[in-house]
Amino acid sequence: MCHRFSFWEPARYRGGGVALIRMDDLKGPLKGLAQASSLPAKVYCDADVARREREAVFRRHWQYLGHESQLPEVGTSLFVDVAGMPIVIVREREGLRAYEAVCRHRAGPLEACHSGGQHFLRCRYHGWAYGHDGALINATEMQGCEDFEPGEIRLPAVELAILQGLIFARLVPGPVGFGAVTDGIRERLAAAGHELSNLQHHATVSYDIDCNWKVYVDNFLEGYHVPLVHPGLNAILDYRSYRTELAAWYSLQSSPLESAPNAYGSGEALYYFLYPATMLNILPDRLQTNRVAPIGAERCRVIFDFFYPTEWTAEARALKYASDSVFSEQVQQEDIEICVAVQRNLESGSYVSGRFNPKREQGLHHFQRLWLEDMLPR
């Protein structure tokens, strides 16, 4: 286990060493890439850091929740979790709405219900019900409760934004609007011939991994490890042409892609990362999204969604997913193995911090810098 420390105060390391975590130790990623060093090991396994991240990082920034194809008709709903907050998205005639999916009675969980031609949300604990406008419509057996005003009770609304059919939300006001976060993405996708709103959700797969969520993100953000960790993936990507581009709030890794038609086909692989924890893997005729969520300090959950063109038949999508899922599972298991090994070594006390590869780890440096700017006291 890593030793706990107060994030911006000196701390004790293994063996009783004192004051090895100082503000200066944390500021390595704030330097230019050629001079920068990575985040110290302790921030990957400390419970106090994990608690602060929930407010300082995850709730203030835009998180990917799902795709509009997962809510095809009026009345449909989608439940997701963002940094420990249950969220429900509902489709109404006016469009999509989202709410905190926590009953205002005694914090019970909500579920989607349909009765008498009406769609509503019902608490699975005591049966309180809410309309898709968030208003309380039924509070069971509350007669005799004084000063109780059902008309004043509503589910808190959650801010939504859409990018080519992809649904994003943030829980509290943050540093920038969604347009600034995604500036340039629509144009780049259009130039490459991608329209993600024309895709259909096909499958979801999730993994609980024994590593801090930042270990998984760090791993995604560099192709430096591909030749050694992913021989199968390396065979279809052009590592020599692999490049990384940076924007204010996202990074893009891209590479020419050459593989058999029954694999990923040929074209270009685009790997977007939107801070803090959204990954979009855009390949010919397919999209794979990853949401990374912390489960405490030393575990995370990675949720994969697979999408294929809407105009394809259900059978065609199923056949393509059958082959894609085998290859995806191979790559994912390779990533899991290396991420778990890295987490063990971060916890060992042997490693403190290291240097970035300026050619291959620009995206990693960019992410760690944004994270540190969120976490340092203002």
> Residue 133's domain is classified under what CATH number?
2.102.10.10
> Do 121 and 266 share a domain, yes or no?
no
Rounded-to-10 torsion of CA 366, 372, 374, 378: -130
Q: What is the SS3 assignment for 246?
A: strand
Total residues belonging to the chain:
378
Range of the domain at 355: 177-375
The whole-number pLDDT of residue 169 equals 97
196 in Cβ contact with 166 (< 8 Å): yes
Nearest to 278 by CA among 64, 80, 66: 64
> Residue 292's domain is classified under what CATH number?
3.90.380.10
Domain boundary among 103, 135, 160: 160
> Do 207 and 149 share a domain, yes or no?
no
The whole-number pLDDT of residue 22 equals 61
The whole-number pLDDT of residue 243 equals 93
The whole-number pLDDT of residue 261 equals 60
CA atoms within 13 A on the CB side of 144: 1
211 in Cβ contact with 300 (< 8 Å): yes
- Which phi and psi angles does 279 have, rounded to 5°? -125, 130
The span from the CA of 305 to the CA of 283, in Å, is: 14
The whole-number pLDDT of residue 294 equals 96
Whole-angstrom CA distances from 304 to 47, 70, 112, 280 are 26, 14, 23, 10
> Do 121 and 183 share a domain, yes or no?
no
Question: Residue 310 is encoded by which pair of tokens?
Answer: 């809407």
Q: What is the SS3 assignment for 214?
A: helix
Angle among Cα 224, 228, 232 to the nearest 5 degrees reads 105
Beta bridge pairs of residue 204:
305
Helix (H) or strand (E) holding 307: strand 300-309
Domain-located, residue 267 = yes
> Do 282 and 322 share a domain, yes or no?
yes
Looking up tokens 């990954």 gives: 279
> Do 334 and 213 share a domain, yes or no?
yes
- CA end-to-end span of the chain, whole Å? 29
* Amino acid, res. 48: D
> Do 133 and 181 share a domain, yes or no?
no
Helix (H) or strand (E) holding 370: helix 362-375
Domain-located, residue 33 = no
The count of structural domains within the chain is 2
Domain boundary among 160, 185, 216: 160
> Do 155 and 182 share a domain, yes or no?
no
Per-residue pLDDT of the chain in tens (378 residues, 90 and over written 9): 454 444 544 443 333 333 335 666 788 999 999 999 999 999 999 999 999 999 999 999 999 999 999 999 999 999 999 989 999 999 999 999 999 999 999 999 999 999 878 899 999 999 999 999 999 999 999 999 999 999 999 999 999 999 999 999 999 999 999 999 999 999 999 999 999 999 999 999 999 999 999 999 999 999 999 999 999 888 888 888 899 999 999 999 998 887 656 567 678 899 999 999 999 999 999 999 999 999 999 999 999 999 999 999 999 999 999 999 999 999 999 999 999 999 999 999 999 999 999 999 999 999 999 999 999 876
